[in-house]
Amino acid sequence: MNKKMIRRWLLLFAFALGGVICLTWSNGLLAYTETLYSKIKIFTSLLETIQRAYVEEKSADELMDDAIKGVLS
């Protein structure tokens, strides 16, 4: 094979490899994002339930502040 043909094959291989890597990375990112959003949805639902059914009245701001403090501790 001549040098021109080898370069073409190497370029094609590099593009194919890049495509495979990109698809693998994006699928992992999509799965992570879906998991993250489902957990945020559960958290939001929990905050709404607490705000509605909690004995003491608490604002959404207070609940979020307390949740953040809990996560950080």
Q: Smallest Cα–Cα separation from 19: which of 27, 31, 7?
A: 27
Does the pTM surpass 0.85? The reply is: no
Average of per-residue pLDDT across 8-20: 73
pLDDT of amino acid 42: 86
Task: Quick: pLDDT tens for 19-65.
Answer: 767 766 676 766 777 788 888 888 888 888 887 887 777 777 887 88
